[in-house]
Amino acid sequence: MATGIKANNVVVADGASWEDYYKIDGGGLTNLTRSNFFVMQLAKPPEVGGQNIAFCIYLGTGAITTSELNNLPEGSAIFAPNIGTPTIYIKEGASTFNAIT
Structural domain boundaries in the chain: 11-100
How much is the average pLDDT of 28-55?
87
Amino acid 65: pLDDT: 96
Specify the pTM.
0.85
pLDDT at residue 71 is higher than 90: yes
Task: Provide the pLDDT confidence category of residue 70 given band limits of 50, 70 and 90.
Answer: very high
Supply the mean pLDDT for the chain. Answer: 90
| Residue 88 amino acid letter | I
Strands 96-100 and 77-80: unpaired
Contact 56, 76 (CB under 8 A): yes
CA dihedral 80, 73, 44, 3 (to 10 degrees): 120
Q: Which residue has the higher pLDDT, 27 or 46?
A: 27
